[in-house]
Structure 1
Amino acid sequence: MKTRTLRSDLLILLATAIWGFAFVAQRVGMEHMGPFWFNALRFAMGSLVLVPLLGRRDPADVPPAVQLRVGLLAGLILFLGASAQQIGLVYTTAGKAGFITGLYVIFVPLLGVFWRQHTYLDAWLGAVLAAAGMYLLSVAETLTINPGDVLVLVSAVCWAFHIHLIDRYAHRMPPFRLAFTQFVACAVLSGLTAALVETPVLPTAREAWGALLYAGFLSVGIGYTLQVVAQREAHPTHAAILFSLEAVFAALGGWWLLDETLSTRQLLGCGLMMGGMLLSQLRPFTRRAPVSLS
């Protein structure tokens, strides 16, 4: 059991590092194409990674129709979260976006209330700390807030819903089929939206393709698949703490590759947010049986 837990934690840590540096790729991609078209291409690329693995015969506790529904629902949540995050990155920095996105580890236990999961005092104290940190990080002294920060915060709520959904069904479904279905659904929804509000064209710049390859094959194809596989075995508390490190990798990537800087005020905000993330996850929240979608 300890070996399996260690393996799942290492998989989550790898996914977290990939996602953190993906904020840099997503920022670069926005210089060459619209957010919806970028997401359509990267999630389509991510689905291609899993095609060779779809023939695996993994056990399933739910019928194929329910598997399809769960995959499509996960894809819809991915679409909403990725769209809000990608548009938000047009107006904010990769480092700030990474820390605000990390608030999903606060929202996970808070949303658990709706599934009759007990939320400990630690979670509420962590939420207060994180909110104070986000204020220092995102709100200027003139009491204005960057619209990009608000959109990234919306995406954090979506990621919290996504973690709940994966936590409920990942251990009951073939992981690669679940990941593939959600990728395709997100790619189709993003492509249709891009056709309506953007002018989809294949990029020609080398930097654009570099960003797409990283965000598609690594961040989507490998990162999100690692999440599905790891959450079959990982304890929710350990998983949430490790996922929160995405913010650290995002800030590191923004500083290293994009020359982004954070003021003393913003660094203090980051510290409060990280403290809130960890404090909210000191104890596991109560889980209940998965809700049937049949």
Structure 2
Amino acid sequence: MNTRTLRADVLLFLTAAIWGLAFVAQRVGMEHVGPLTFNGIRFALGALALVPLTLVLEKRRASGLIGVDRRRTIVGGGLLGLALFIGASLQQIGLAGPQLAGFGLEASTAGKAGFITGLYVVLVPLFGLFLAQRPGWGTWVGAALAVTGMYLLSVTSGLAISFGDLLVFIGAFFWAGHVLLVGKLSPGLDAVDAVKLSAIQFAVCAVLSLVGAAATEEATLAGIAGAGPAILYGGLMSVGVAYTLQIIAQRDAQPAHAAIILSLESVFAAIGGWLMLGEVLTARGLTGCALMLAGMLLSQLKP
């Protein structure tokens, strides 16, 4: 393993830790504001946080280095922003305990949402079927383990699944699409263009979220202030820092390494939910988590 690959793996590990703990912030934020309001503000913060960095990197860019095609950056950032908006909205609504309770629906927990979202690492190689690729046996066995694990984690003895878990599961398909897009767009990017790509996708996601929030939610200054710490973590750390680290790291990371390390996000989510929110999984749920994590790892170790 060379130095660049090692650095990429370290950055991806930090990304997984930040994202995993962000599930706690997302859950706490729902006590004060609506899901689209929360996402709109945090992604706007993430985009704004990258503006000074973009300007600094632009000045330091070597005079003879030409950036990638502007159209590719703008269009790619727009597509990433759309996938991000759908995935993040489904995930955030799935975590919106007070809002879903008002409709008699059950929300997901931080720990469960982390593991269900992590299914995207199994879905990524399966999506290769649509690209005329042939996943290996590890992918199929991993998918079977992950599905079995999700059944134990989320489906009750009465064959019912909570509405929140279902939304988070659907969102996992869009997270998989987002990872594939990042893998398609990030090679060949220098640091400046990687940060620009991040800023564009955050801005697109923020605009779509705020438009949706204006149409469907009521936000108050008191509510936004109450959710302030969670929004700041979600905006500056989970969005501004982690997504940018992902794009920068995936320029040098081996695809299998990236997927495996990012799957640890679910472990950090479960630990954060336990330590900070007092969430406790049953023996059945813990078994499901173990099977899901095993499936995620196997699908990448034997793709």
TM-score w.r.t. length of structure 1 = 0.93
Q: Deviations over 1:2-56 (max 9, x none)?
A: 1000100000000100000000000000110100010000001111211112233
Counterparts of 2:68 and 2:186, CA distance in 1 = 11
The more displaced of 231-240 and 107-116 is 107-116
User: 2:9 aligned with 1:9, yes or no?
Assistant: yes
Where does residue 182 of structure 2 map in the other structure? 166
Report the secondary structure of 2:218's partner residue: coil
Where does residue 67 of structure 1 map in the other structure? 73
User: 2:280 aligned with 1:261, yes or no?
Assistant: yes
Where does residue 88 of structure 2 map in the other structure? 82
Counterparts of 2:92 and 2:288, CA distance in 1 = 22
In the alignment, is the contact (CA less than 8 A) between 2:137 and 2:302 conserved in 1?
no
In the TM superposition, 1:100-119 aligns within 5 A as: 100-119=116-135
Query: CA-atom RMSD, angstroms?
Result: 1.4
Where does residue 283 of structure 1 map in the other structure? 302
The percentage of counterpart residues that share the same residue type is 54
Report the secondary structure of 1:149's partner residue: helix
C-alpha displacement of 1:220: 0.4
Where does residue 212 of structure 2 map in the other structure? 193
C-alpha displacement of 1:206: 5.5
C-alpha displacement of 1:63: 1.7
C-alpha displacement of 1:122: 0.6
In the alignment, is the contact (CA less than 8 A) between 2:33 and 2:224 conserved in 1?
no
AA matched with 1:281: Q
Where does residue 271 of structure 1 map in the other structure? 290
Counterparts of 1:235 and 1:156, CA distance in 2 = 22
C-alpha displacement of 1:62: 4.2
Q: State how many pairs are aligned.
A: 284
C-alpha displacement of 1:273: 0.4
Counterparts of 2:256 and 2:270, CA distance in 1 = 23
In the alignment, is the contact (CA less than 8 A) between 1:29 and 1:208 conserved in 2?
yes
- Rate the CA distance shift 1:122–1:233 in 2: closer, same or farther, 3 A: same
Q: Deviations over 1:250-274 (max 9, x none)?
A: 0000000000000000000001101
Unpaired segments of 5 or more residues in structure 2?
97-106
In the alignment, is the contact (CA less than 8 A) between 1:237 and 1:283 conserved in 2?
no
Counterparts of 1:106 and 1:245, CA distance in 2 = 13
- Rate the CA distance shift 1:60–1:40 in 2: closer, same or farther, 3 A: farther
Counterparts of 2:224 and 2:46, CA distance in 1 = 20
AA matched with 1:36: L
Counterparts of 1:161 and 1:235, CA distance in 2 = 18
Counterparts of 1:25 and 1:215, CA distance in 2 = 7
AA matched with 2:71: A
Q: Deviations over 1:34-85 (max 9, x none)?
A: 0001000000111121111223346567421121000000000000000000
- Rate the CA distance shift 1:35–1:204 in 2: closer, same or farther, 3 A: closer
AA matched with 2:256: T
Unpaired segments of 5 or more residues in structure 1?
285-294
Counterparts of 2:210 and 2:224, CA distance in 1 = 20
Report the secondary structure of 2:186's partner residue: helix
In the TM superposition, 1:10-29 aligns within 5 A as: 10-29=10-29
AA matched with 1:252: I
What is the aligned counterpart of 1:99 among 103, 108, 115? Answer: 115
Counterparts of 1:279 and 1:46, CA distance in 2 = 33
Counterparts of 2:222 and 2:251, CA distance in 1 = 37
Counterparts of 1:202 and 1:270, CA distance in 2 = 38
- Rate the CA distance shift 1:216–1:138 in 2: closer, same or farther, 3 A: same
Q: Deviations over 1:190-246 (max 9, x none)?
A: 000001111133345765111011111000000111111111111110000001100
